[in-house]
Amino acid sequence: MFDLSVLASRLIVSCQAYPGEPMRDPRTMAQMAQAAVIGGAAAVRIQGIQDLEQTRDAVDVPMIGLWKDGTDGVFITPTLDHALACAAAGSDIVAIDGTRRPRPDGRNLAETIAALHEQTGALVMADCGSAADAKAAADAGADVIGTTLAGYTGERPKTDGPDLELIAEIAALDLGRPLIAEGRIHTPAQARACLDAGAFAVVVGTAITHPTTITGWFAGALQG
Ligand SMILES: CC(=O)N[C@H](C=O)[C@@H](O)[C@H](O)[C@H](O)COP(=O)(O)O
């Protein structure tokens, strides 16, 4: 089990390509992770078993692993089996859906986390969508709380940038475990603002590792 304190005030880079996209290739994502580490990422967040396996061999930094299955409802590492596979593929932290919604395998969050702790050495990051989720996830035994699903579950508005209000609200709950800001952090200033709002560390995905979206931002600005 690794020491979470190495991530204090640091940047974690999420390297993900979506189904059907040109960069959806485990080798490409492992190379993306290597590039992010050279740039200063203290950890990487990686989706999919093959991507995890290849990235594990490519970088030495801690790896947050997840397995997305589906696109609606509970789809981020939705079941214990998905989570166990992420751990087996080398994740130091397994990110799982940390909302209060029913899970497809019928296990609740506490049961899922307990089984994962019992059967692996991985820590658990609960991807939450609200302060109520965060509180419930902490009660369920999550090691790390993330704001990953803020704006995607109907409980919070989808803010243009990070949901700083939610970060501050969760930080004020003093849940006794690290809060990782994640979701729509598009500039270095926004990343800094997340720490200032009370986050322990920051995950950036799209703005660093999704060139199609970044290109769209620039192309759109020229057409405005
Ligand atoms: C909601 C959801 O499915 N989030 C996913 C979780 O792993 C990823 O698609 C995001 O890219 C990641 O959370 C990082 O966020 P952003 O790309 O906004 O920096």
Mind listing the pLDDT tens digit for each residue in 93-148? 999 999 999 999 999 999 999 999 999 999 999 999 999 999 999 999 999 999 99
User: Which residues, 6 or more positions from 31, have their beta carbon under 8 angstroms from its beta carbon?
Assistant: 58
130 vs 155: CA distance, rounded Å: 6
Task: Give the nearest ligand 1 atom to 149 CA.
Answer: 1
CB of 184 closer than 8 Å to CB of 151:
yes
Task: Give the nearest ligand 1 atom to 95 CA.
Answer: 7
> Percentage of the chain with pLDDT > 90?
99
pLDDT at 1 over 80: no
pLDDT at 224 over 90: no
pLDDT in tens, 138-193: 999 999 999 999 999 999 999 999 999 999 999 999 999 999 999 999 999 999 99
The three-state DSSP-derived secondary structure of 129-141 is: CCHHHHHHHHHCC
pLDDT at 36 over 90: yes
Q: Whose CA is nearest to atom 14 of ligand 1?
A: 205
Q: Whose CA is nearest to atom 9 of ligand 1?
A: 16
For ligand 1, which residues put their CB under 6 angstroms from it? 14, 16, 66, 76, 148-149, 152, 182-185, 203-207
Distance 148 CA to ligand 1 centre (A): 6
Helix (H, G, I), strand (E, B) or coil at 88: helix
